[in-house]
Amino acid sequence: MHSFRHLYIHIPFCRHKCGYCDFNAYAGLDGLMAPYVDALERELAFAASSYPFGELRTVYFGGGTPSTLSPELISRLLTRVRTEFSLEAGAEVSLEANPASTDVERLEAWRRGGVNRLSLGVQGFDRRTLAVLERRTDGAMAEQAVRLARAAGFRNLSLDLIYAVPYQSLESWQQTLQRAIDLAPEHLSAYCLTLEEGTQLFRQWQRGDLPAVDPDEQWMFLEKCQSALTSAGFHRYEVSSWSRPGFESRHNRSYWQCRPVYGAGCGAHSYARLGAGARRWWNVARPQSYISSDTFIEAGEELGPRKAAAERLMLGLRTVAGVRTEPGFEVEIERLRSAGLVETVGRVVRPTRRGLDLNNQVALAVL
């Protein structure tokens, strides 16, 4: 088993679960925060003593909403990470934050603990879009969070946005992009809304209370995004990610390159390389069950050489840089090349602009 150099820590708590969200996140469980952190500390100690770890290159606190944890609890976790593991110089330590729970005290605790990259879940600026998404923040909160983060010394900020939201116009999306650009983040992620089964938005759509957005309109939103961000000096380096040069997300890149990642916390997934194959496992999903668990793990699966290679190819083709060709996929790659979705340069296959925009088709062809 290759050494883990990347660590993900899942914080499942939210003040309110938004209508589009299908993540492993829960509202109304604030009373579990302290025992959950206790359980996380136990798992991190267990992982450090049970698996091979090299110096960590990235640590990522995701959720849920990690910023809902009190400064004391997040400080405990940050200290535990540095106690159990070694971090290489300049390691990227990221934390996802909601603008509504980004305040001076928390920002100071994050900075003291070593967080050097913030990902702010802005999602939008216009009121109607935020209302459809059931976001309980607004543009003013997002702008205030950015100002506070800069004042606290953060020099690597990422903003998340969502487009192709029912009732969202291209004009309002253009205004949203401009407001995001004006905040001068180093990184920006823009995700096309999908109506996931089991979410509130999906149920509204099923009842006919919410219109779906036409695929052609989705493409027009993406075109606006690409044009505005490129003009502002960002470069698209992955299907949904744009950055200033040198500010690409190193943690997310570890997933696209199929690097070993250890996932701690309820529902977190881990991935390890085993020779030509791989192994993936995941933790129990419910916070209460995770807290009372002795082993943390719910289940796992072995990936044979063919499946592991297909995943490396599929994920690598999410990135502009592409991936080295895998033997045994010549037919699939040629079909994608003939369709104008990929191009090959020596032993590297990479997506065309069309291939980035139609990444689902690329993934289906490979898998």
From first to last of its 367 residues, the chain has per-residue pLDDT tens of 789 999 999 999 998 878 788 788 888 999 999 999 999 999 999 999 999 999 999 999 999 999 999 999 999 999 999 999 999 999 999 999 999 999 999 999 999 999 999 999 999 998 888 888 888 888 899 999 999 999 999 999 999 999 999 999 999 999 999 999 999 999 999 999 988 888 888 888 888 888 878 888 899 999 999 999 999 999 999 999 999 999 999 999 999 999 999 999 999 999 999 888 999 999 999 999 999 998 899 999 999 999 999 999 999 999 999 999 888 999 999 999 999 999 999 899 999 999 999 998 989 888 7
**Lookup: tokens for 367:** 């898998």
Contact 312, 323 (CB under 8 A): yes
- The CATH code that applies to domain 306-367 is 1.10.10.10
Task: Please check whether residue 52 is in contact with residue 4, taking contact to mean a CB–CB distance below 8 angstroms.
Answer: yes
**Host H or E run for residue 152:** none
Spatial separation of the C-alpha atoms in residues 52 and 50, rounded to whole Å: 7
pLDDT in tens, 128-142: 888 888 888 888 999
DSSP state of 318: T
pLDDT (tens digit per residue) in 172-219: 999 999 999 999 999 999 999 988 888 888 888 888 888 878 888 899
Gap between the Cα atoms of 296 and 180, Å rounded:
39
What's the pTM value of the predicted model, to 2 decimals? 0.95
What is the pLDDT at residue 306?
Answer: 94
Decide yes or no: CATH 3.20.20.70 for domain 4-255: yes
Q: What is the pLDDT of residue 332?
A: 92
- pLDDT number for residue 39: 97
Contact 48, 83 (CB under 8 A): no
DSSP-assigned letter for residue 97: E
* 224-240 pLDDT, tens digit each: 999 999 999 999 999 99
- Per-domain residue ranges for the chain? 4-255, 306-367
| Cα–Cα distance for residue pair 136/158, rounded to 1 Å | 19
Residue 3: what are its φ and ψ, rounded to 5°?
A: -70, 145
Q: How many Å apart are CA 114 and CA 99, to the nearest integer? A: 20
Cis peptide bond N-terminal to 64, omega within 30: yes
Which residue bears the tokens 């199929």? Answer: 258
Same fold across 4-255 and 306-367: no
Question: What CA–CA distance (Å, rounded) separates 203 from 208?
Answer: 9
Residues in Cβ contact with 287 at an 8 Å cutoff, skipping those fewer than 6 apart = 12, 13, 26, 29, 32, 36, 266
| Whole-number pLDDT of residue 76 | 97
Do the bridges between strand 348-351 and strand 342-345 make them parallel or antiparallel, or are there none, so unpaired?
Answer: antiparallel
- Both tokens assigned to 269: 């997934």
Per-residue confidence (pLDDT) for residue 367, from 0 to 100: 76
